[in-house]
A = this chain, B = another copy of it.
Amino acid sequence: MTIDPQIRQQIMDLYAAYASCIDDGRFEEWPDFFTEGGWYRVVARENYDQGLPLSILSLKGRGMMKDRIYGTQSTIFHAPYYQRHLIGLPLITRRDEGGYLVDVNYTVIRTKRDFPADIYSVGRYLDHIVEVEEGVKFERKFCVFDNDIIPNSLIYPI
């Protein structure tokens, strides 16, 4: 039942590096946090809790992720903003299918130029993490958000 301390540390480092990557705006590196066929999904808590399939974003595989990043950088018209992640203490459990389930709270604070910072997205990650040659990666990352009313569209990854 207990998690090997080294794996635990790798998982915590994964989250720290993930936050640093996105918040620093290095979006082109973002798909590399996932396995080749990884699944990134952003879903309202209300839908998730009832098992409803509707997501506001669901990307399967690094190809779709790269396409999304290309969109946010080049084709989607939007005002620029900064994101800042706060990620809590992770609850890590081993999955019977292999790998780990991580349940961890997050809050993303947004700053738009000339505006005060505000709470942009708040919820929890429900992630599947697997060991790969280079360390650990997300095989599945579900961002289950509490706040249906967000200050604007979600552009960048959460």
For window 52-90 of chain A, which residues contact chain B by CB distance below 8 Å?
82, 84-90
Does A105 contact B151, Cβ atoms closer than 8 Å?
no
Instruction: Tell me the complex Cα distance, A151–B117, Å.
Output: 10
Say yes or no for A109: interface residue by CB 8 A criterion. yes
**B105 A85 Cβ-Cβ under 8 A:** yes
Q: How many residues of A contact B (CB 8 A)?
A: 43
What's the least CB distance linking A90 to chain B, in Å? 6
* Residues 132-152 (chain A) with a chain B CB within 8 angstroms: 146-151
The reply on A107 being an interface residue by CB < 8 A is yes
B146 touching A114 by the CB < 8 A rule? Answer: no
Contact of A89 among B12, B91, B107, B115 (CB under 8 A): B12
Of residues 29 to 48 in A, which have CB atoms within 8 Å of B's CB atoms? 45
A109, B111: Cβ atoms closer than 8 Å: no
Q: Is there an interface contact between B91 and A88, defined as CB atoms closer than 8 Å?
A: no
Q: Which residues of B contact A16 (CB under 8 A)?
A: 88-91, 103-104
Contact A122 B84 (CB under 8 A): yes
Knowing that A19-B89, A87-B89 touch, tell me 4 more A-B residue pairs with CB under 8 angstroms.
Answer: A16-B88, A23-B105, A86-B86, A115-B149
A-B contacts, 10 listed (Cβ < 8 Å): A16-B89, A16-B90, A20-B91, A84-B105, A85-B88, A86-B86, A86-B107, A109-B119, A111-B146, A117-B119
Which residues of A approach B to under 8 Å, CB–CB? 5, 8-9, 12-13, 15-17, 19-20, 23, 45, 82, 84-91, 103-105, 107, 109, 111, 113-119, 122-124, 146-151
